Amino acid sequence: MFQLERHPSGRLVYTGEDGATHHGITPVRAFPVTAPDAGLSLVSAEGHELVWVDRLDALPERQRTLIEEELAHREFMPEIRRVVEVSTFSTPSTWNVETDRGPTTLVLKVEEDIRRLPERGRLLITSGHGIVFSVRDMTALDRHSRKLMERFL
């Protein structure tokens, strides 16, 4: 079993079964959108996979907490709860939205930046600054938000 530790510098330190240590490793989900819990890889600072973790909840408490902490720092996909207003129905359009991480604005550069996922009503919206916003289920949003978003779909 591999070991994980947090260095005072804030980086994660990985010690493999062979005793080799790696500084600054990053956990990466293999299917962050369609199956976030299914598979996870610990990748060295050089970008090579060190170990594959099939299920996060099968790991011992200590490793899991460290990985989850690190993921929480790295994963940034605000979920849109409400669309307050949009500047225009053509693009680029500035949206005023409320997310699970507080209110913010995003710039939709082109309609193609809205990606539809196979699940019903699920959307990923890439903002002009490269942040990906998610919409869990568009059909479950309030009427106002739905109406505004419909114009872009």
Site for another protein, rule CB under 8 A: 8-10, 46-47, 72-76, 78, 87-93, 99, 101-104, 107, 109-112, 126-132, 150-151, 153
Nearer to another protein, 60 or 92 (CB): 92
12-15 and 21-23 strand pairing: antiparallel
Q: At CA 46, angle to CA 13 and CA 70, rounded to 5? A: 40
Minimum separation from the CB atom of position 121 to another protein (A): 15
Instruction: Name the amino acid, one letter, at 136.
Output: R
Nearer to another protein, 10 or 19 (CB): 10
Minimum separation from the CB atom of position 7 to another protein (A): 8
Nearer to another protein, 58 or 129 (CB): 129
In angstroms, the CA 50 to CA 61 distance is: 19
In angstroms, the CA 108 to CA 114 distance is: 8
CB 45 within 8 A of CB 108: no
Minimum separation from the CB atom of position 31 to another protein (A): 15
Minimum separation from the CB atom of position 135 to another protein (A): 16
Nearer to another protein, 53 or 97 (CB): 97
Q: In this structure, what DSSP letter does residue 113 have?
A: G
